Structure 1
Amino acid sequence: MSTATEPRTAGAAGRTAGTGRRGGLLWLVWRQNRGLALGLLALLVVGGIGMAVQGSLMSGYLAQHHIAGCAAISTNPRCDGLQDAVWDFRSAYGNTFRLGQLLLFMLPMLVGLFVGAPLLSRELESGTHKVALTQSVGPLRWLTAKLALPAALTTLTAAGLAVGYLWMWRSGGQETLGAYWYSDSGFTALGPVPVAESLLMLVIGTLVGLLIRRTVAAMVITFGVSGVLTVAFMLVRPYLLPPVVTEFPKSGPRLPDAAWRLWEGSLTRALVRLPQGICSSASDMQKCLDDHDAVGSYVVQHPASHHWPLAWLESGIALVLAAVVTVVIYRIVRRRFG
């Protein structure tokens, strides 16, 4: 009877020890990243509360002065005589709004710089990773534990701030604020984009740190990569969806302010679209247009309805790139330490 009991007791002890070791690894990762965790959570709480308060104040101002939907220069008869109130609104709330927008625009770079780049490079530079890898912790499990907590915190912080910014942006109204969805900083701050691009920069910073093994150098290179990726997304963004061409055969273009104009050109009497800038270098532009029989214009644009499809497409690209970079990180760790 004792013979049958001893193996079960030994097996239970082994399972308990294994659980303890797994708990020990997670506890170690938490101890190493608790400053980061508290910092990101503080940013989420302070930023989220600030955006919620700002949104409520802006919404109240719009309701009190009846300027919702009114731009600084508006053809809407309802907005006649309200331009001063619109400018006062922008003066009162514009700077704080732009501060929240700037925070989300820079968030991916900040995550890559201060979370991703030091994540592995600090341990590789000091050699402390050897302690974890010699405590019967496999390299892939060590890597998973190192990545999981920062990824979860990054997702939570970026998503929370993006929701707060969206509430603030909608409360103020893009026309009244003059902050349209297609601006470079505005697009990056809205919806899923800051979440996806923050995760991408997290793993890019981690990969750079893994390859460089020097924290400061990894941060510098990550900063440069972040700038390149930001510009690349801006250049690719207009072409993620086919734009809409709107023709104005007789008069100048009258598009909503929320439409993202990509380019425009002249339209002939026979409704032939002339190339963009065909008369831009002519000494007499009007004569050049008359010679081409141009009587109207056309605009290539993304309407406001394209905002969310464009945002999800860009976010999908960022997440696919993040997945590819993560696979590369695992392969390098496995080859180097496995």
Structure 2
Amino acid sequence: MSTATEPRTAGAAGRTAGTSRRGGPLWLVWRQNRGMALGLLGLLVAGGIAMAVQGGLMSGYLAQHDISGCALISNDPRCEGLQGQVEDFRAAFGKTFRLAQLLLVLLPALIGLFVGAPLLARELENGTHKVALTQSVGPLRWLTAKLALPAALVAVAAAGLAAGYLWMWRSGGQETLGAYWYSASGFQALGPVPVAQSLLALAVGALVGLLIRRTVAAMVVTLGVSGALSLAFMLVRGHLLPPVITDFPHGGRVPDTSWVLGEGSLTTSGERLPQGTCPAGPGIDECLKSHHVGDGSYLVQHPASQHWPMAWIEAGIALALAALVTVVIYRVVRRQFG
């Protein structure tokens, strides 16, 4: 009886090894992660279609009511008396737009939590990595297959969703939607930023899983690290490019699309007096007079023209960090598995 069992076991092992040789580690990774892949592709298709439809509806509404570029408070004479239509537009499309924005903002954390953290932790926890490593597949080749396919799927899904959101954002207009590029959520959802940060979260999750080797614990730690990285990017974002200092007469305005970092008054000698130097109160006039404040003001700002350069700089930093984390992953695997 034991003699009959042994050939069957050997035959099964041979078939497994043969399958691995024919398909290679990449095919094995695909088989292991089909659910994740189909989930990402489903999210891409559903989200992309919804955003495209919503963008078309917003564009049509703006054209029909001629309120493109109008905000609730606008100096454009063309927008006078159109605040009601702007409010109706935001009521009709604002909620759906914010949901799409929230998806892009949370996407890196979701990728790290549900794709990155379990990627290596699950196999190491269950011991299934030993099967792959004993079938003529070296540890570095195994690792490359484990990382390459999820990274490609994440990049495609994140880029597609980011493109759909960008279409919505441009269709609705910053002013009319009240969704400016410099807001914390707006910047993080636009352009290359969510794509790069998703790849970074994937790498971070994989490294955490490799070190902890427990899926649930790796997911918890990855979520915390992703939140810390998001906060760090938000804190340094305003320093990615030097701000522009603009002088103008009192009562002048800069576009609402400018990210204002600071403001103040100009003295008669041309010096800049930061706001708050003379606190509001009964003695403010005497204070302003003592500082020789003139009729001008100044703003420290990031104009809208700096948006895309800043976005690409932040994305580049995120991709560089992702590459660095990936190098660390390879070093750890080489040390642990040879």
TM-score after normalising by structure 2: 0.92
Q: Which moved more, 1:281-290 or 1:214-223?
A: 281-290
Residue identity over aligned pairs, in percent, reads 74
Partner in structure 1 of residue 12 of structure 2: none
SS in 1 for 2:198: helix
Matched ranges for 1:135-146 at <5 A? 135-146=135-146
CA distance in 2, matches of 1:160, 1:41: 10
Deviations 1:267-300 (A, max 9, x none): 1111101244322487633432232122332110
Partner in structure 2 of residue 13 of structure 1: none
Partner in structure 2 of residue 45 of structure 1: 45
Q: CA deviation at 1:27?
A: 2.3
- Contact 2:193/2:315 (CA < 8 Å) preserved in 1? yes
Instruction: After the TM superposition, list the runs of 4 or more consecutive aligned residues in structure 1 that deviate by more than 6 angstroms.
Output: none
CA distance in 1, matches of 2:88, 2:20: 61
Structure-2 change in CA distance of 1:30 and 1:325 (3 Å):
same
Matched ranges for 1:248-327 at <5 A? 248=248, 250-280=249-279, 284-295=283-294, 296-327=296-327
Partner in structure 2 of residue 149 of structure 1: 149
- Contact 2:263/2:299 (CA < 8 Å) preserved in 1? yes
Partner in structure 2 of residue 247 of structure 1: 247
CA distance in 2, matches of 1:139, 1:298: 60
Deviations 1:160-196 (A, max 9, x none): 0011011111011111000011111111111111111
- Contact 2:20/2:28 (CA < 8 Å) preserved in 1? no
Q: CA deviation at 1:263?
A: 1.1
Structure-2 change in CA distance of 1:286 and 1:158 (3 Å):
farther
Deviations 1:101-133 (A, max 9, x none): 010011011101110011000111111111111
SS in 1 for 2:272: coil
Q: CA deviation at 1:19?
A: 9.5
Matched ranges for 1:50-129 at <5 A? 50-129=50-129
TM-score after normalising by structure 1: 0.92
CA distance in 1, matches of 2:117, 2:70: 45
Deviations 1:83-106 (A, max 9, x none): 100000000000000100010011
Query: How many equivalent pairs are there?
Result: 321
SS in 2 for 1:93: helix
Q: CA deviation at 1:18?
A: 8.8
AA of the residue aligned to 1:222: T
Q: CA deviation at 1:252?
A: 3.3
Deviations 1:191-244 (A, max 9, x none): 111111100110001001111111111111111111111111111111111110
Q: CA deviation at 1:26?
A: 2.1
